[in-house]
Amino acid sequence: MEQRKIAKQLTELNQAVFNNPFITIMPGAYHPEKSFFRFVDKNPLFSDNSRNAIHEIILVPRKTRSDFKPHFDEDYEKMTYFLASNHFHHRNK
C-alpha cells in the first residue's frame, strides 16, 4: 500500500512540475506570432497567397502546442489509474 501512495505522489509531483512552467510559458508564446502577423499583414510586398501560406505555417505549431497538453493530461490520468489498480501492486510483490 505504501508503494502505491509514494508512486501516486511522485506522479502528481511530476505533473505539477510540467504544468507550472507550461502555464507560465504559453501566454508568452503567442506574442511573437502576433507581432509577425502584424508585420506580414501590413507589408505590401506580400501577396494574399503568401500571407495565407505564412499564416498557415505559423498556426501549425500553435495547434500542436494546444493539442499537446490534453494528451499529456490524459497520459497522467492513465498512469494514476495504473498505479491505483491491482496490476501495479501484484507485479511488485
Residue at 57 is within a domain = yes
Mean pLDDT of 77-82: 82
Question: What is the per-residue pLDDT across 27-63, written as a single tens digit (0 to 9) for each?
Answer: 777 777 888 888 888 888 889 998 899 888 888 888 8
Judge contact between 8 and 83, C-beta under 8 A: yes
Quote the CA–CA distance of 21 and 23 in Å, as a whole number. Answer: 5
Domain count, the chain: 1
In this structure, what C-alpha cell is assigned to residue 26? 504559453
Percent of the chain residues topping a pLDDT of 70: 90
Mean pLDDT of 11-24: 83
What local confidence, expressed as pLDDT, does residue 49 receive?
92
Residue at 11 is within a domain = yes
In this structure, what C-alpha cell is assigned to residue 88? 501495479
Residue at 10 is within a domain = yes
Q: Is the pLDDT of residue 85 over 80?
A: no
Q: Is the pLDDT of residue 1 over 70?
A: no
Residue at 23 is within a domain = no
With cut-offs at 50, 70 and 90, classify the pLDDT of residue 66: confident
In this structure, what C-alpha cell is assigned to residue 93? 510483490
What local confidence, expressed as pLDDT, does residue 25 receive?
76
Query: How many contiguous H segments (helices) and E segments (strands) does the chain have?
Result: 3, 0
Mean pLDDT of 54-74: 84
Q: Which is it for the CA torsion 22, 23, 24, 29, positive or negative?
A: positive
Please report, to the nearest 10 degrees, the dihedral formed by the alpha carbons of residues 15, 16, 20, 25 taken in order.
-10
* Domain span at 49: 2-15+40-91
